[in-house]
A = this chain, B = another copy of it.
């Protein structure tokens, strides 16, 4: 019987946490603050990050061998999103969620 390893479960958790942070912050904090928070390339990056986090979590939940590829892409987009959130400022929770997810995804992709 299939058992998710503790490492994979931890990565699923980080992906879903980062998903929540990016999607939730974009839809509330960013829209309410406006200005550079809704600058197209930043806002799209947050949405792209949410999307790839969800997909990577799903690939791990379904035990697909392709999760290594989605996790590698997820790590890249999370790092890029963390940098963009740092530049915009006032988004420390999101920066941390992205960094933790990126680290966890890099391990899964290895």
Which residues between 19 and 50 of chain A lie within 8 Å of chain B, taking CB atoms? 20, 23-24, 27-29, 31-32, 34, 38-40, 43-45, 47-48
Q: Which residue of B lies closest to A60 (CB)?
A: B24
Copies in the complex: 4
A84 interface residue, CB < 8 Å from B? no
Which residues between 52 and 104 of chain A lie within 8 Å of chain B, taking CB atoms? 52, 55, 57-59, 61-64, 66, 69-70, 73, 76-77
Residues on A close to B: CB < 8 A?
1-2, 4, 12, 16, 20, 23-24, 27-29, 31-32, 34, 38-40, 43-45, 47-48, 51-52, 55, 57-59, 61-64, 66, 69-70, 73, 76-77
